[in-house]
Amino acid sequence: MNSQKRVKAPTIQDVARHARVAVGTVSRVLNGHLGVKPATRQRVLDVIKELDYSPNLIARSMTSRRTGSVGIIVPFFTRPFFNEVLQGVEIATTRSGHEFMLYNVQTDDQCQAYFRELPKQRKVDGLLVISLYPDDATAVSFRRAGMPVVLVDAYHPLLTSLIVDNIEGGYQAVKCLIEHGHRRIGFINGIPESDFRFNPANDRLAGLQRAFDEAGIQYEPDLVLTAQWNRSGGREAALQLLTRPDRPTAIFATSDLQAVGVLEAARSLHLSVPAELSVIGFDGIELAEIMELSTIQQPIQHMGELGAQKLIALIEDNEDSESRPELIRLQTSLLQRQTIASPPHYT
């Protein structure tokens, strides 16, 4: 075993010297360029192994103008939904030999700062933006900086975007409830903890309205509550909804996390699900499966994987500006489990 003392890392110069060749030659064998005599190639390889040399990737990035990293800008990355997106991202980046930096954002300011700085800092070759909406000026600045960007669960006309049909998803959820005989349906909308620009829950509400219209059900604003995107948000909203004299027979929550909160509220109120209350969520996270919660399944992991894959393609083809951005639409699907039944007294 060698000494424990810290030692300066060998450079390409050291390798060249030991192998008695020029740095250019070492660089060539490093990058698999042809035109190196097998004998010298082998000699260089031997020295590399002997010195335990690895190229300094920072220095390499200087000339190659590539870092091999992509940046993921994501709000609240520990939430199950985002976590599952990241799982897909990891699969795609690892497959293509890229690394990724995680930029977690909790406020809109932080988000805008990342949008502004990251393209110029050049620590990443591309940006994957999850559930966040760049404004027009930002989108333009991405292109000017030559920074490839892909939006996942978000849309901008200038950027490759990957969206799911939230209206259709909301429609599927409510239609299912209606088909089971429900007429009084509560909706728990989501309000982001901070002032992000966009709220997919509004589209899901639009889907609800379409289903209502179709069934000739009167939309009652009283049955729509806005709550935080988490369990306690769902729980509190449900508590409100369910303690009214004319409580709804079913609740559609705009996220599974909130729907789990609804389940908790029902439990604390000794309301049995689905006998006395039907519940449907949105997202299709693993927790929904554990809780046997009916939900609208988004292709979450696939969104992350496909988004990352598209981003890497943009990076490698270097087709930043000349190409028109792609718009990819993904579908949701109804997942019926144990939390939906016909309402009490339904004939």
Partner DNA sequence: TTGTATGCGTTATCAT
Partner DNA sequence: ATGATAACGCATACAA
Residues 59-88 that bind DNA (CB under 7 A): 59-60, 62-64
CB-wise, 31 or 268, nearer to DNA?
31
Q: Judged by CB under 7 A, which of 41, 143, 184, 302 binds DNA? A: 41
SS3 276: coil
Report d(CA 188, CA 233) in Å as an integer: 9
Q: How many of the other CB atoms lie within 10 Å of CB of 338?
A: 12
Closest approach of Cβ 248 to DNA, in Å?
A: 59
User: Considering CB distances under 5 to 8 angstroms, the limit depending on partner class, which of DNA, a second copy, none binds residue 11?
Assistant: DNA
18 to 37: interface string for DNA, x by CB under 7 A: --xxxxxx-xx-xx--xxxx
The tokens for 263 are 């389940």
DSSP H helical ranges for the chain = 12-19, 23-30, 38-51, 57-64, 80-95, 108-121, 136-144, 166-179, 200-215, 231-242, 256-268, 286-290, 300-317
User: Considering CB distances under 5 to 8 angstroms, the limit depending on partner class, which of a second copy, DNA, none binds residue 347?
Assistant: none
In what helix (H) or strand (E) does residue 294 lie, and over which residues does it extend? strand 294-297
The residue length of the chain stands at 347
Q: Angle at Cα 25 formed by Cα 21 and Cα 28, nearest 5°?
A: 160
Closest approach of Cβ 209 to a second copy, in Å?
A: 31
In the complex, which residues of this chain contact a second copy (CB under 8 A)?
Answer: 1-7, 9, 52-59, 61-62, 67, 69, 77-78, 83-84, 86-87, 90, 94, 99-104, 117, 120-123, 137, 140, 143-146, 231, 260, 264, 287, 290-291, 320-321
User: Considering CB distances under 5 to 8 angstroms, the limit depending on partner class, which of DNA, a second copy, none binds residue 230?
Assistant: none
Report d(CA 144, CA 146) in Å as an integer: 5
SS (H, E, C) 147-191: CCEEEECEEECCEEEEEECHHHHHHHHHHHHHHCCCCCEEEEEEE
Q: Judged by CB under 7 A, which of 9, 102, 140, 275 binds DNA? A: 9
User: Considering CB distances under 5 to 8 angstroms, the limit depending on partner class, which of a second copy, DNA, none binds residue 97?
Assistant: none
Question: Helix 231-242 vs helix 256-268: angle between axes, to the nearest 10 degrees?
Answer: 50
CB-wise, 20 or 123, nearer to DNA?
20
CB-wise, 69 or 226, nearer to a second copy?
69
Stretch touching DNA by CB under 7 A, among 13-21, 78-86, 179-187, 188-196 = 13-21
Stretch touching DNA by CB under 7 A, among 5-13, 157-165, 235-243, 326-334 = 5-13
Closest approach of Cβ 69 to DNA, in Å?
A: 16
Q: Angle at Cα 325 formed by Cα 200 and Cα 284, nearest 5°?
A: 30
- 312: nearest Cα among 29, 36, 91: 91
User: Considering CB distances under 5 to 8 angstroms, the limit depending on partner class, which of a second copy, DNA, none binds residue 273?
Assistant: none
Chain positions contacting DNA, by CB under 7 A: 8-9, 11-13, 20-25, 27-28, 30-31, 34-37, 39-41, 53-56, 59-60, 62-64
